Amino acid sequence: MGPAPTWAQDGMPDYVDQTEPTDQDPDSIGCGMAFLSCLMSLGQTLSAIAQAMVSLGDSGTLAQVYGQLTGDATGNAWQKFLAAVEALSGGVTSDDPFGHACQAG
């Protein structure tokens, strides 16, 4: 099982509004993977996401990436993401639950 399904099974902790200072936590990695999949399902390209992440630096959050890319308030990122995850008919069964990780751009 990949990190996104593990994150879902572990109760979907919020790593959109906060960062985890390690790359070894399966839940934070899984949340990030699912969030990136969600952003791509909204039409954001991997290139644009990466540029936003780099511009925010190490202390940037996924909520800030969302806000920068969509123009929506960063405070809406977690709730909208959580609603989208909960609306998935099969739940989070892969690291690309929204099915858009192959988008280039």
Where are the extended beta strands (E) located within 1-105? Answer: none
What residues does each domain of the chain span? 42-93
User: Tens digit of pLDDT for each residue in 22-81?
Assistant: 889 999 999 999 999 999 999 999 999 999 999 999 899 999 999 999 999 999 999 999
The amino acid occupying position 80 is: K
pTM over 0.85: yes
Cα dist from 55 to 32, 35, 48, 60, 64, whole Å: 17, 18, 11, 9, 10
At residue 102, does pLDDT exceed 90?
no
- The reported pLDDT for the residue numbered 100 is 67
pLDDT of residue 57: 93
User: How many of the other CB atoms lie within 10 Å of CB of 15?
Assistant: 22
Asked whether the beta carbons of 35 and 8 are under 8 A apart, the reply is: no
Handedness of CA 75, 87, 70, 100 (dihedral sign): positive
pLDDT for residue 1 = 72
pLDDT at residue 91 greater than cutoff 80: yes
Whole-number pLDDT of residue 103: 43
Quick one: average pLDDT of 15-27?
94
Residue 30 has a CB neighbour count (10 Å cut-off) of 25
Contact 10, 25 (CB under 8 A): no
